[in-house]
Amino acid sequence: MSAGKIFQKIFSWCKKEIIFCITFLFALVSMLFVKPDAKYISYIDFGTLLTLFSLMAVVSGWRRTGLFGTLGNIVCRKVHGQRGLCLTLVLLCFFSSMIITNDVALLTFVPFAVVLLSKTSGFLLLYIVVLQTLAANLGSMITPIGNPQNIFLFSKMQLGTIQFMKIIFPYTLLSLVLLIFSTLIIKNEEMQIERQEVETGGSGFTGKNILYTALFILCLVSVVNVIPKWAAAVLVALCVFISDRKIFCNIDFMLLLTFTAFFIFTGNIARLESVDSFLKRITGTNEFAVSLAFSQVISNVPATLLLYPFAQNTKELLLGVDIGGLGTPVASLASLISLKLYTQEKGGTAKFLAVFTLMNIIFLAALCAMKAVLQG
């Protein structure tokens, strides 16, 4: 094979895995300032990686059995018109994320949307996946278990669940209104999706689907730490190995590597001595603005862990990192899941990012305006 062909293949691979390549580059640059040592292992949130692995395996299993195709036909019969279907797909992410977290909601329902809308216009699918991403990030804000930063801050704030939810409720309500309005502008055309066009895995309700559903419930139980995440991942891996080994070929291990590289980058940034004094100086009483800004660069979960020791008003920090999940693709790591799931099926990373950025700016501006009004 000539050098030109090798370079072309490498370039094509990098283009396909652009998010991983950028994140990996950031991690490498950070390693120039903080040399690799034993502390690196503490950067990595293995619980998150194990949960992602388990959920991707279960969702892949469902797709191989044709479950999504079967559900797609059921939804199409129950929901009248394209607009109603799109609204249903978005609200599924919004409300389910309150309980099963934003990551799990997207891993579950973005593939569902890809199956249902695969025969519609390419832009409609892109638009709905973007709205699903917004819905999952915004819906997860209101509950203490909706996302990782809420889980962490709730344990530190010494508030009851109702008190916690009251802080976020106005922003959640506005988010719901904006999401509904964003789907109402879609043309209410008849859906032309037939069973054989949706999925090719045969009947959706099989013995394997019972197994995968049980494993999915196991994953949810591990998310709320009822059982260890490693135990759930081991059990999922064993069951998948026995039931359908080809599922392992459909698991996106590059997404797991992307998360790992990002953990290394943020871990190294936090260890730079100059960062400590810098954070003390800028955070002060500016928790909302600083946490929102940091979330755009290093994601809202690392921003939470990084800024909490310097925050005087934890409620402002909570609002900053939750609303800060809007904006850039890395503002919420859950957004990377949608980006990866969509581009893996349809490509068009640049187009997705353009629509994603525009919609995020609109929603971010609206929520920041509400905060200004409530404070005023």
User: pLDDT (tens digit, 9 = 90+) per residue, 87-108?
Assistant: 989 998 999 888 878 888 898 8
Residues 308 and 156: beta-carbon distance below 8 Å = yes
277 within domain boundaries:
no
Cα 206 vs. chain centroid, distance in angstroms?
29
Residue 207: count other Cβ atoms within 10 Å of its Cβ.
9
The phi and psi torsions of 257 (rounded to 5 degrees) equal -70, -35
What pLDDT is recorded for position 199? 45
- Of 269, 259, 302, give the one whose Cα is nearest residue 31: 269
Residue 246, in any domain of the structure? yes
Residue range(s) defining the domain that contains residue 213: 50-64+202-250
Within-domain flag for 208: yes
Please report, as a single letter, which amino acid is at residue 172.
T
**What pTM does this model have?**
0.74
Alpha-carbon distance 209 to 216, whole Å? 10
**Degrees to nearest 5, angle at CA 286 with 26 and 304:** 45
> Residue 357: is it exposed, middle or buried by C-beta count within 10 angstroms (0-12/13-18/19+)?
middle
User: Does the residue 166 lie in any domain?
Assistant: no
CA angle 208, 214, 215 (to 5 degrees): 90
| Residues with pLDDT less than 50, the chain | 194-204
Q: What angle do CA 209, 214, 220 make, to 5 degrees?
A: 125
Is the Cβ–Cβ distance between 86 and 181 less than 8 Å? Answer: no
- Domain for residue 34, yes or no? no
Q: Are 90 and 179 in contact (CB under 8 A)?
A: yes
What b/e string do you get for 298-315 counting C-beta neighbours within 10 Å, with b at 16 or more? bbbbbbbbbbbebbeebb
Q: What is the pLDDT, as a whole number, of residue 192? A: 57
- Write out the E strands in the chain: none
The answer to whether residue 137 is domain-embedded is no
Tokens 């106005």 correspond to what residue? 170
Overall number of domains in the chain: 1
pLDDT at residue 296 in the model: 93
Placement of tokens 């009483």 in the chain: 285
Query: Given this model, what pLDDT does residue 195 score?
Result: 45
In DSSP notation, 226-285 reads SS-HHHHHHHHHHHHHHH-TTHHHHS-HHHHHHHHHHHHHHHHHHH-HHHHHHHHHHHTT
The C-alpha atoms of residue 370 and residue 364 are separated, in whole angstroms, by 10
**Contact of 343 with 125, CB cutoff 8 Å:** no
Give me the torsion for CA of 125, 130, 131, 137, rounded to 10°: 140
Q: Which amino acid is at 357?
A: T
Is residue 139 included in any domain, yes or no? no
In a domain, 224, yes or no: yes
Q: How far is CA 246 from the centre of its chain?
A: 25
Cα(118)–Cα(193) distance, integer angstroms = 9
Task: List phi, psi (to 5°) of 331.
Answer: -60, -35
According to DSSP, residue 310 is labeled G
Nearest one of 119, 111, 125 to 64, comparing CA atoms = 111
- Model pLDDT, residue 181: 95
- Cα–Cα distance measured from residue 296 to residue 291, given in angstroms and rounded to the nearest whole number: 9
- pLDDT computed for residue 237 by the predictor: 95
Residue 286 makes CB contacts below 8 A (sequence gap 6+) with none
What pLDDT, in 10s, does the model give residues 20-43? 888 788 889 989 989 999 999 988
Q: What is the predicted pLDDT for the residue at 376?
A: 67
Q: Give 89-101 as a DSSP string.
A: HHHHHHHHHHHH-
